Structure 1
């Protein structure tokens, strides 16, 4: 196989979490490539419970 270059783009997903803190519980959605990236974007001070991964809708390829 010829030398391969890493030019493939990674798909983004909508990650769904339950965000829990001392007084509230809410469902949040974060667009990111990986779960780790999504968790890094989550609100500070919340416990994040994974609830689902959905493909990002729209944004057709150019």
Structure 2
């Protein structure tokens, strides 16, 4: 099957982290495919503590 295209999509999740910095503590949510991708989008200067992964619901229009 040399001519077939890979069309499988990777599901996205909402990743929750406790973002700790010298001055603040915040719970942040980032939508991404993987935890690594979510951590790459996190704010600079924060220590990110994993808190959870939630599925992202697709919007379907009737």
How would you bin the TM-score normalised by the shorter chain?
0.7 to 0.9
The offset of 1:60, in angstroms, is: 3.2
Structure 2 segments unaligned to the other structure (5+ residues): none
Superposed CA deviations along residues 1-38 of structure 1, whole A, max 9, x for unmatched, are xx464210000000000000001101000000000000
Structure 1 segments unaligned to the other structure (5+ residues): none
Partner SS state of residue 53, structure 1? strand
State the aligned residue count. Answer: 59
User: Is 1:39 the counterpart of 2:23 in the alignment?
Assistant: no
* TM-score, with structure 1 as normaliser: 0.84
Runs of 4+ in 1 over 3 A off after TM superposition: none
Structure 1 vs Structure 2 CA RMSD: 1.7
User: Is 1:57 the counterpart of 2:47 in the alignment?
Assistant: no
Q: 2-side partners of 1:36 and 1:7: how far apart?
A: 22
